[in-house]
Amino acid sequence: MPGVFPPIEVQGALLGDGGLVDNMPIDVARAMGAQAVIAVNISTPLSSREALGSIVGVTGQMINILMEQNVTSQIKTLTAADVLITPDLGSISSVDFDKGEQALRDGYAATMAAAPQLERYALSEQAYRAWRIRVDTHAQELVAGLAQRPLVAVRVEGSAWAPGATLEANLSQKAGQPLRYADVHRDLDWLAGLGDFSRVDYRLVRDGEGDALDYRVTDKPWGPNFLRFGLGLSTDLRNQTRFELQLIQRRPWLNSLGGEWRNFVQLGWENRWTSELYQPLNRVDSVFLAPYLDLDSHPIDVYAGNQPIDRYRLTTSRVGLDVGTPVSDYGELRLGYSLAQISANTILGASNL
């Protein structure tokens, strides 16, 4: 889907959604050696006149027309040896993910309606059973072989700023060990959880006389400086309303060990700036140092009974150094030392406390 999922680089070319060019790639199937094609036409029907009253509607119609043209040209290449199935999807489009179950039912109904044409491709029950046994046996042999043969290499590739050696040092699946899918999925979750990549996948490849596991990551195009904005609003429903703007900045991979600079800025009722350098001491995610600076300024009220008589602005300046270690996937354990200076200035009132 253009604009939703990033393109993928294949053999030096960036490949995105092919809908505008070849939405029903019958020619691609034939180029791969297909003797018969079962084509399914799920293109979105053209919009009605009522839906064309805005620039969004007109733009969508233009895209649908372009897609319909290349679908029609592909359908014309079908022969008597092929089968065309066209489910009646009604108003369901390619972005109606919440209607997936209904689309499946519509597709099943269209397939059953085409059963007389599809029967010519069917095997006898005996032939199908024999084919199924061969396929299952081959799959079991492949899995058994992978479970016994150690991987000759495990690599992380594709990032322009995250060092592959540092990422590889933190993987569960190691070179010299047989492939374990539980470790692979754990590694995929860890790589995705870093928040630095828009796409994470893997593949098994032949490397010399053995098998290698390649994790492929795609950098987020708006990195490596990441910004997040927030808005805070709170009230006690009486006389105080607090409003705050927030900005979080994160710059990962400052160095080969995975150093990261983090900043938090808040403006409003409470003004705050926190800056921290997160610096691992080795490539394995074990022990880190985290020097930081924290400046905070916020009002506090002094009461006599139930009445506020003074308001002060409390300002705290703090510098510190933490030593810590990650605790599995749950967080961090830190031990630190800090120095702080605190001052209070009168905003309202005249009392000296």
Summarised one tens digit per residue, pLDDT across range 148-180 is 889 999 999 999 999 999 999 999 999 999 999
Query: What is residue 294's predicted lDDT score, i.e. its pLDDT?
Result: 98
Question: Helix count (H) and strand count (E) of the chain?
Answer: 8, 14
CB-count burial class (<10 Å; 0-12, 13-18, 19+) for 147: exposed
Tell me the C-alpha distance between 95 and 1, whole Å: 9
Cβ atoms of 275 and 266 within 8 Å: the answer is no
Query: What is residue 94's predicted lDDT score, i.e. its pLDDT?
Result: 74
Alpha helices (H) in the chain, listed in sequence order:
19-22, 26-31, 55-75, 100-113, 115-118, 125-148, 164-169, 181-193
Low-confidence ranges of the chain (pLDDT < 70): 1-6, 18-19, 46, 51, 237-239, 349-353
Tell me the C-alpha distance between 310 and 109, whole Å: 75
Q: Copy the structure tokens of residue 57.
A: 């509607």
Give pairs for 43-47: CB < 8 Å, separation 24+. Answer: 43/67, 43/68, 43/71, 44/93, 44/94
Q: Copy the structure tokens of residue 25.
A: 């790639």
CB-count burial class (<10 Å; 0-12, 13-18, 19+) for 134: exposed
Q: What global pTM score does this model have? A: 0.66
Q: Copy the structure tokens of residue 49.
A: 């006149």
Q: Which of 85, 73, 70 is nearest to 38 (CA)?
A: 85
Query: What is residue 22's predicted lDDT score, i.e. its pLDDT?
Result: 79
Query: What is residue 329's predicted lDDT score, i.e. its pLDDT?
Result: 72
Query: What is residue 109's predicted lDDT score, i.e. its pLDDT?
Result: 95
Tell me the C-alpha distance between 353 and 342, whole Å: 14
Which residues does 168 contact at the CB level (< 8 Å), separation at least 6? Answer: 154, 155, 156
Tell me the C-alpha distance between 203 and 146, whole Å: 13
> Which helix (H) or strand (E) is 141 found in, with range?
helix 125-148
Q: Copy the structure tokens of residue 236.
A: 């006690």
- The three-state secondary structure class of 245 is strand
Q: What's the DSSP call for residue 74?
A: H
Query: What is residue 238's predicted lDDT score, i.e. its pLDDT?
Result: 67
